[in-house]
Amino acid sequence: MKTLIIIFLLFQGLNAINFKSPENKVSLIELYTSEGCSSCPRADEWLNKLKEHKNLFKTFIPLAFHVTYWDFLGWKDSFGKKYFDKRQRNYSSNVWKKNSVYTPQFVIDSKEYRQWFSSKKFPKIKNEYAGILEADLENNKIKVSYINSNKNMNLLINVNILILENNLKVLVKKGENKNKILKHNFVVKDFYNYRSEIKNGEFKNSYSLDIQDKKNKILVVFISSESNQQIQALGSYL
Q: How far is Cα 219 from Cα 2, in angstroms, rounded to an integer? A: 34
Q: What is the rounded radius of gyration, in angstroms, for the C-alpha atoms of the chain?
A: 19
Q: How far is Cα 150 from Cα 75, in angstroms, rounded to an integer? A: 49
Is 2.60.40.1220 the CATH classification of the domain at 2-237? Answer: no
Query: Which 8-state DSSP code applies to residue 186?
Result: S
Please tell me the predicted confidence (pLDDT) of residue 1.
52
Please give the angle made by the CA atoms of 72, 171 and 87, to the nearest 5 degrees: 45
- Report the length, in residues, of the chain: 238
Q: How far is Cα 170 from Cα 228, in angstroms, rounded to an integer? A: 32
Q: Across 21-167, where does the E strand assignment appear?
A: 27-33, 60-66, 105-108, 111-112, 132-138, 141-147, 155-165
- Per-position pLDDT tens, the chain of length 238: 554 444 434 444 456 899 999 999 999 999 999 999 999 999 999 999 999 999 999 999 999 999 999 999 999 999 999 999 999 999 999 999 999 999 999 999 999 999 999 999 999 998 999 999 999 999 899 999 999 999 999 999 999 999 999 999 999 999 999 999 999 999 999 999 999 999 999 999 999 998 888 999 999 999 999 988 999 999 999 9
Q: How far is Cα 72 from Cα 130, in angstroms, rounded to an integer? A: 41
Please tell me the predicted confidence (pLDDT) of residue 7.
44
Q: How far is Cα 151 from Cα 176, in angstroms, rounded to an integer? A: 52
Please give the angle made by the CA atoms of 50, 56 and 199, to the nearest 5 degrees: 130
Model pTM score = 0.92
Domains of the chain: which residue ranges?
2-237
Please tell me the predicted confidence (pLDDT) of residue 2.
52
Please tell me the predicted confidence (pLDDT) of residue 212.
85
Phi, then psi, of 58 in degrees rounded to 5: -90, -45
